[in-house]
Amino acid sequence: MRQLFSFPNPVNEVSARLVAGGVVLMSVAALAFQLEWLVPVIALGFIARVATGPTLSILGQLVTRVITPRLPAAAKPVPGPPKRFAQGIGAVFSLTSAALLLVFDADLAGWLVLAVLVLAATLEAVFAFCLGCQIFALLTRAGLIPDSVCEACNDIRARTEANLRNAGPA
């Protein structure tokens, strides 16, 4: 049994992209209809996913238990630590947006921060380009994140072999 406050490793990239799509939909709705109350809801989702992966996230549960299993797409395992880092960045941006909107009454700044979050989540959902994962890789190369945090990130041969095993016959 998985511990409550753990993050999955590896992560199914199909599910990660669908969660990002959910974040895009909620954030675009908040922006389009000026739903300030929705921004803290988005932030709570990010906090839940950073702390527990999909375990305490309503969106994470919907995606991993209902949507992903019904898709014809094969699972694509990717390292978990960069995805957790990306969720952390999403938490920072959504919390910043919520604070600007609800505490500091800085609406323009709050909506702009949320718009940046929409851009990053759209890159993940549509193009499988995880901006947070790229930042994680840069910080690891710079020595600010120890290699031991994500050994799978550093072993390209192991990742390639795992992807080939999961892909099955062509």
Q: Is 106 exposed, middle or buried (0-12, 13-18, 19+ CB in 10 A)?
A: middle
Rounded to two decimals, the pTM is 0.88
Total residue count of the chain as it appears in this document: 170
Residues 58, 83: Cα–Cα separation, whole Å: 18
What are the C-alpha distances in Å from 115 to residues 11, 24, 27, 52, 109?
A: 26, 10, 8, 25, 10
- Per residue of the chain (170 residues), what is the pLDDT tens digit? 457 778 999 999 999 999 999 999 999 999 999 999 999 999 999 999 999 999 999 999 999 999 999 999 999 999 999 999 999 999 999 999 999 999 999 999 999 999 999 999 999 999 999 999 999 999 999 999 999 999 888 765 455 555 545 544 43
Tokens coding 126: 């549509």
Contact between 49 and 87 (Cβ < 8 Å): yes
